[in-house]
Amino acid sequence: MRYSIEGSPLPVVICELNSGETMITEKGAMSWMSPNMKMETVGGGIGKMFGRAFSGESMFQNRYTAEGDGMIAFASSMPGEIRAFEIGPGKEMICQKSAFLASTSGVELSVFFNKKVGAGFFGGEGFIMQKLSGNGVVFVELDGYIKEYDLQPGQKMVVDTGYVAAMEPSVQIDIQTVAGLKNKLFGGEGFFNTVLTGPGKIWLQSMPVSALAGSILPFIPKA
């Protein structure tokens, strides 16, 4: 499989497949394709189906197999970036809910629950995320501009809820309260922040969908 990621700020990944190669995607993600791509909708078992639903994806997935050399394209649903990650043993990824766009057939999508109860109840996006494992290439869609940091052991990054796009499994995620009652009530940043602790790489996004929706809402005429 060969691919190119094109366009901005609404990118698309165009995949060129050899005969017999298969891509997996969530429903509605396919944008265009050559006529020799065979589609099949699969569930993959009750456990996996409910795991995908918890992680913000559809319970069913579509498999596209090239019958002869073929082409298929997957477009992002929001302004931002499409990133490609090589997944393999020891190279799993943790991503925000609904980040998964498409992958080669060897990639497994499952739900990632934060083990710390505090992060679960108050960390917002840090509670339920997506875990990408197996073997292959995965394409994820992230919101806005993406900034990558490589945290050293013990190094911390404080992030507003929702701005965590992806991270390596070695990174720990927790929450901390915003100091001061006045800051909590009038600072506009909420009561809690997400704390990421290295070692490992993290990917932060400049405009999560929730923030974009909040920015647009005041300008939508009320009926």
* Domain ranges within the chain, ordered by starting residue: 2-218
pLDDT value at residue 185: 45
User: pLDDT (tens digit, 9 = 90+) per residue, 63-113?
Assistant: 999 999 999 999 998 899 999 999 999 999 999 988 999 999 999 988 887
Tokens 């339920």: give the residue: 128
pLDDT band at 119 (very low <50, low <70, confident <90, very high): very low
- In the DSSP assignment, the letter for residue 118 is H
Tokens of 23: 């891509």
- pLDDT of residue 174 exceeding 70: yes
pLDDT value at residue 214: 73
User: pLDDT (tens digit, 9 = 90+) per residue, 54-73?
Assistant: 444 466 789 999 999 999 99
In what order do the strands lie in the sheet containing 107-113? 107-113, 128-134, 93-95, 164-167, 200-205, 146-151
pLDDT value at residue 120: 45
pLDDT value at residue 48: 54
For residue 206, count CB atoms less than 10 angstroms from its CB and return exposed for 0-12, middle for 13-18, buried for 19 or more: middle
- pLDDT of residue 157 exceeding 90: yes
215: helix, strand or coil: helix
Q: What is the DSSP string of 74-101?
A: EE-SSSEEEEEEEE-TT--EEE-TT-EE
* Rounded distance between C-alpha atoms, residue 76 and residue 82, angstroms: 7
Q: Which amino acid does the sequence have at 223? A: A
pLDDT value at residue 222: 78
Look over the chain and give the mean of its residue pLDDT values, rounded to a whole number. Answer: 84
Residue spans of alpha helices (H) in the chain: 46-54, 117-122, 181-186, 209-216
Nearest to 141 by CA among 196, 173, 97: 97
* Rounded distance between C-alpha atoms, residue 181 and residue 199, angstroms: 32
* Rounded distance between C-alpha atoms, residue 63 and residue 26, angstroms: 9
The superfamily CATH assigns to domain 2-218 is Mitochondrial biogenesis AIM24 (3.60.160.10)
Q: What are phi and psi of 127, to 5 degrees?
A: -80, -60
pLDDT value at residue 55: 45
pLDDT value at residue 172: 93
pLDDT value at residue 27: 78
pLDDT value at residue 28: 80
Predicted TM-score (pTM) above 0.75: yes
pLDDT value at residue 123: 45
pLDDT value at residue 15: 98
pLDDT value at residue 44: 55
Pick the residue with more confidence: 207 or 36? Answer: 36
Distance of CA 81 to the CA centre of its chain: 11
